[in-house]
Amino acid sequence: MKQILSLILISLIPVLLSARNAEVVSPNTKIRIELLNTNNDKTGEWYLKVYFENNKQTSEIIPKIELGISRSDQDFHKNLKLLKISRPKQIEEDYITKHGKRSHRNNSANEVVVSFENPDKTRLNLIIRAYNDGMAFRYQFPENEGNFAIKDELTSYIIPDSTERWLQKFDLSNEKLFDHMNSSDIQGNWGYPALFHSPDRSCWYLVHEADLDRNYCATKLSNLKDKKSYKVTLPAPHEGEGEALPKISLPWESPWRVIIMGELSDIVESTLVEDVSTASVIEDTDWIKPGLVSWNYWSDNHGTRDYQTVKKFTDLAARMDWPYTLFDWEWDAMGNGGDVEDAAKYAISKGIKPLIWYNSGMFKWITATPIDRMKTHENRMEEFAWLKGLGFAGVKVDFFLSEKQYMINYYLDILKDAAKFEMMVNFHGSLVPRGWARTYPHLMTMEAVRGAEWYNNNPELTTTAPKHNTILPFTRNVVGSMDYTPVTFTNSQHPHITSYGHELALGVVFESAFQHMADRPDGYDNLPDAAKLFLRELPAAWDDTKLIDGYPGKDVIIARRKGAGWYLGGINAEAHQNKNKTLNFNFLPEGQKYKLTLITDGEYDTELSTSYLVVDKNSEIDVKMLRRGGFAASLKPVQ
């Protein structure tokens, strides 16, 4: 029998090295983690095994998470000797966020630190946490001095072959579609996050990483060597410029390896990626204000070159009571009646705060202008001072296309300098969020998604969007704000076949603290009054989020609360069939009635139908969604 080391976090008794059948258990006791040794001894290779309890039945979910790391001077893998297990520690956190799926975060975990040494007597710690909605672990070198490179990380998730999975092929833009697979037969490099459904259907889990800082690079998953083993993989030398291997200085901690776990609602509603990340380093956050943004690029790729076009989108924001408008690329070539300073003054005169786009300047072959005004500290300080004087509220910085350590430093340098001038930030052509929105709450959103911009690129999204849109709430949007640029009713260069109801719903289904409304002014001006009012009042930051119903690639219904009011969005992925759903409102508080404004698909794709009802916690109503359709709704308390 293999030796199992006890890490009982809910006990006050210190865990002994000789303890057997020991485990790390989440506060709600649903998640259990075992640390085991392949040699049935105190020295050898170590791995984790993960269990989940559902309906009083416990299932083995991940049979093996291989552990280890290779440093430039020595390895920490095959011959690790257990030294000690720390006294159990309870983690309790309560904090407030400026944006995201929930404003008030409360989370608890049980933590143990396991100390090892390798044959050279060098220490490695493994920090393990079990949360109610998942688990996290990270490596730590506790020595106080030393500079090294990380040659490889040996963390690997062994996934049973019959596990259902939704994976995105790795690409430096993180803008691929998610592939749905029922086995591990397809091998490759995969981007985060990765969604899995256990063979016995008892548990869903989403694999990601969090709290990435200057001391490491971003990673991906790869099952190229062993199709069942999804290994944490460092950047390849050819993936962008610069050194591939991260350089570290001791003491050092790796990013958290995060697994969100539970039912589908636990996945969608989880804030674990931000919960495990470093607390905010910004003391005064009053200037950080989420909101909707008018945006001209989707309907006119060169719109910001034309001062008259910029004015029209500023006027749209003013009519719709949206606080922001974005000046996208080529603003430095603006003409036809005014330049960028004139445009900023015009926006301010209408009560609209302008946002502005920049090229990262990191790649000579990307010539979109302006190119290099964000690239150095000196340039940024000069540019931010100029923007602040003109009344700009934030920047969108594009084209990072590398996940190496030098690029992580560049992201964080921009965030650090932007905060000095109270500039909010949006990253495009970027990596997937790693929890930075907690540490730097002026990071409002990140792209890292195949969004509506792809209607400009090729005809593919026309047919894939309905299904793609129903996968994103269970994958990419779980781990952070997502700048999909949704809610379009007219067409860009390639048409969309999602219904008006589907498009309207995306403003709720997709979460982003800067929600860029991508359509041209006519697209919104021609909507029925109820839909226009819905978009005027739509928040971009939420006090709570609930998954009402859904399944990746089929449909999804999400409810989000702001203050005392609720907003609902539902979308249907089916290409050929209408779908009927029964909405129940059991998420509402007891004894409170609400006025429901329900905006559904009409008789055809470009028609909306509005109805008004009074509902409470016990109400149920039937909603019809057309093929590729959807609905949106608002709930306001009846006084």
Q: Does position 4 have pLDDT exceeding 60, yes or no?
A: no
Beta-strand runs (E) in 382-518: 394-398, 424-427, 443-446, 514-517
Residue 14 confidence (pLDDT) above 80: no
Q: Using DSSP, state whether 293 is helix, strand or coil.
A: strand
Q: Tell me the per-residue pLDDT of 32-72, one tens digit each, with 9 for 90 and over.
A: 999 999 988 899 999 999 999 999 999 999 999 999 999 99
Give tens-digit pLDDT for 278-305: 999 999 999 999 999 999 999 999 999 9
Distance, CA of 59 to CA of 65 (rounded, Å): 16
- Contact between residue 91 and residue 101 where contact means Cβ atoms under 8 Å apart: no
Distance (Å, whole) CA 512 – CA 347: 22
Contacting residues for 357 by C-beta, under 8 A, at least 6 apart: 304, 326, 327, 328, 329, 331, 395, 396, 397, 398
Check whether domain 453-481+488-510+533-639 has CATH 3.90.110.10, yes or no: no
What does the pLDDT look like over 531-561, one tens digit per residue? 999 999 999 999 999 999 999 999 999 999 9
Alpha carbon distance 194, 179 (integer Å): 10
Provide the residue ranges of all domains of the chain, joining segments of one domain with +: 4-275, 453-481+488-510+533-639
Residue 514 makes CB contacts below 8 A (sequence gap 6+) with: 290, 291, 293, 324, 355, 394, 424, 426, 444, 445, 481, 483, 540
The per-residue pLDDT of the chain, averaged, comes to 95
With a cut of 60, say whether residue 31 has pLDDT above it: yes
What phi, psi does 22 have (nearest 5°)? Answer: -100, 160
Class of domain 4-275: mainly beta
Residue 482: pLDDT over 80: yes
Q: Give 241's pLDDT tier (boundaries 50, 70, 90).
A: confident
d(CA 176, CA 190): 10
pLDDT one-digit tens code per residue, 594-611? 999 999 999 999 999 999
| 334 band by pLDDT with thresholds 50, 70 and 90 | very high
How high is the pLDDT of residue 636?
98
User: Can you list the alpha helix ranges (DSSP code H) found in 332-482?
Assistant: 340-349, 377-390, 405-420, 436-439, 460-471
Predicted TM-score of the model (pTM): 0.96
Q: Which residues contact 104 (CB under 8 A, 6 or more apart)?
A: 94, 96, 97, 543
Model confidence band, residue 151 (pLDDT cutoffs 50, 70, 90): very high
Neighbours of 416 (CB within 10 A): 13
Q: By the 8 A CB rule, do 354 and 387 touch?
A: no
Q: How far apart are CA 338 and CA 180, in angstroms?
A: 49
First CA to last CA distance, the chain: 65
Average pLDDT over residues 403-427: 98
Q: How confident is the model at residue 6 (pLDDT cuts 50, 70, 90)?
A: very low
Can you give the pLDDT at residue 19? 38
Q: Quote the percentage of the chain above a pLDDT of 90.
A: 94
Domains 4-275 and 453-481+488-510+533-639 agree in fold = no
